[in-house]
Amino acid sequence: MFRHSSTGKSGIGHGKPSSGRGYSPRRSFGAHSPHRGPAGHGFHKSYAPRGGFGGPRKSFSSSRGGFRGRVGGRGGERIDVSRFINKAVITETTEHFKPEHHFADFAIDEHLKKNILAKGYFEPTPIQDRAIPHVLRGDDVFGVANTGTGKTGAFLVPLIDKVIKDRKNRVLIMVPTRELATQIEDEFWSFAKHLRIGAVTCVGGANIGPQISTLRRNPSFVIGTPGRLKDILERHALNLSTFSTVVLDEADRMLDMGFIDDMRFILSLVPKERHTLFFSATLSRDIEKLIGDFLKDPVRISVKTRDTAAGVDQDIVRVPAGKTKIDVLHDLLIKPNFGKVLIFGRTKHGVEKLSKDLVHLGFKATSIHGNKTQSNRQKSLDAFKQDRIQILVATDVAARGLDIPKVSHVINYDVPNTYDDYVHRIGRTGRAGEKGQALTFVEGHHAR
């Protein structure tokens, strides 16, 4: 039986953005502003050069009701392409979320509070405002919130406080991807400054030796992906019987990636009497089952109001006969309003090839996918975040949880396997109240 604590409002808490590395305001404590953009900025017509479609695979028809048809990734669900078209809501005023708390009001350690306030963060986001009091009370929590709404801060702040007040507490945080694990650790150090609390990130693609060495010092926070955590457990380098708290972040993505058996194995080694926090951007029958298996009388907190952000202008890109996808992509990328662009492809090989093709065409581009080592993936991600490159080409490894500031466009060069994947991909733009653009390449016949 769930206890409910929810809000129908959405938005990001007010606060000054931080220029430093670590806790990004777009992830957790960023300023919320109305969804508006420069006049004329946006895609109010589909990109549809004359001449229609090329390619024999799909058949589409155009009508007054819009572009119709179904597409799908290899082995994925069939998605009505009309779901890729949704104009951003542009308004001069918006109803701001009114938090019930200020960070100064929370019963947390004063040094931790100073670390938060020193960064200019005063009011929590909706998920933080609702979740933090329950986590501080020791309640199990199941949180549903759109990507980029501050889920990381919703569990890090109260759990750091929990460890400060009892150093015997240890926290295990499981996440689906290496990048998300690294980002959570960065945010952890930002909050835990001068608090003498240790943390380690355990992910694949990196040398396991240093991770095991750090674990020997019994850090209070262990952040990792299920596969690497299982490897470490099989080497008897981690004793989960000493952990009192578990966080499952982006649980839906861990299910999608086939980690369910590893998740169950890992949780079977943690004491049954534990504090469990479970966060997901989507809710499915499988997620509901995991909630019943892993959590005890959880408080359910939902601040999700729609699948995609209101500030993301969504449209399709039509590939005409006689032109290739790379030709059409080139013509888009040279437009002046294409600033910081995240392009999603389906396969590791395809993403790597597209990245090299774009470099050959003179763009500053790099790639991120599962065949790269963790250090190379992190270098590519850092270069994109720091604006040293314009274009990041990625597989869905980059679709969830990552906070990449000021992405002007997300381009689905390959149609995602599922609509949930689409939602998470385009969630990389239009964050923290900013306006973003999402474009999906579609090929077929008979389009105008």
Tens digit of each residue's pLDDT (9 = 90 or more) over 60-106: 333 323 334 455 555 556 777 667 676 544 333 334 457 788 898 89
Tens digit of each residue's pLDDT (9 = 90 or more) over 329-360: 999 999 989 999 999 999 999 999 999 999 99
User: How many percent of the chain have pLDDT more than 90?
Assistant: 48
Range of the domain at 145: 3-31+97-302
In a domain, 49, yes or no: no
In a domain, 447, yes or no: no
Going by C-alpha positions, the residue among 374, 436, 407, 443 that lies closest to residue 90 is 436
Residues in the chain: 448
Whose tokens are 């390959």? That residue is 414
Q: What is the pLDDT of residue 162?
A: 97
For residue 8, pLDDT beyond 60: no
Q: Are residues 150 and 260 in the same domain?
A: yes
Going by C-alpha positions, the residue among 305, 308, 312 that lies closest to residue 90 is 312
The structural domain count of the chain equals 2
Q: Are residues 220 and 111 in the same domain?
A: yes
CATH number of the domain bearing residue 363: 3.40.50.300
Q: What is the pLDDT of residue 309?
A: 60
Q: Are residues 287 and 414 in the same domain?
A: no
Going by C-alpha positions, the residue among 103, 102, 100, 160 that lies closest to residue 130 is 100
In a domain, 279, yes or no: yes
265 pLDDT tier (thresholds 50, 70, 90): very high
Domain boundary among 270, 302, 334: 302
Domain boundary among 302, 326, 354: 302
Q: Are residues 418 and 378 in the same domain?
A: yes
For residue 19, pLDDT beyond 70: no
pTM: predicted TM-score of the whole model, two decimal places: 0.63
Going by C-alpha positions, the residue among 222, 290, 229 that lies closest to residue 260 is 290
Q: Are residues 150 and 214 in the same domain?
A: yes
Tens digit of each residue's pLDDT (9 = 90 or more) over 184-198: 999 999 999 999 999
Tens digit of each residue's pLDDT (9 = 90 or more) over 399-428: 555 678 889 999 999 988 888 788 878 888
Q: Are residues 281 and 397 in the same domain?
A: no
